[in-house]
Amino acid sequence: MAEVKVYSLPSCVQCESTKRMLKSIDVEFEEVDMSQDPVALEMVKALGYTSAPVVISGDSHWSGFRMDQIKALKTA
């Protein structure tokens, strides 16, 4: 399984929902707080994203709470 990174922001409801769902289906992930990591924030912006969370797994990435994408990580 590819490494999963969740780029999040404090007080972000969709970020919390994404992390909670990943935990509930036993998908390990690394959380990166973009408010504390300006390099990560610039990298996410360079991918074209303007809202959190941004989830990156291997070659795939998306923004927001995407239940379909999260569930697909369990089978990856």
- In the chain, % of residues over pLDDT 70: 96
Q: What is the CATH number of domain 4-75?
A: 3.40.30.10
Average pLDDT score over residue span 33-45: 97
Q: What distance in Å separates the CA atoms of residue 18 and residue 25, rounded to the nearest whole number?
A: 11
* pLDDT on residue 74: 83
Map residue 16 onto helix, strand or coil.
Answer: helix
Of 3, 50, 38, 37, which Cα lies nearest the Cα of 22? 3
* pLDDT on residue 24: 96
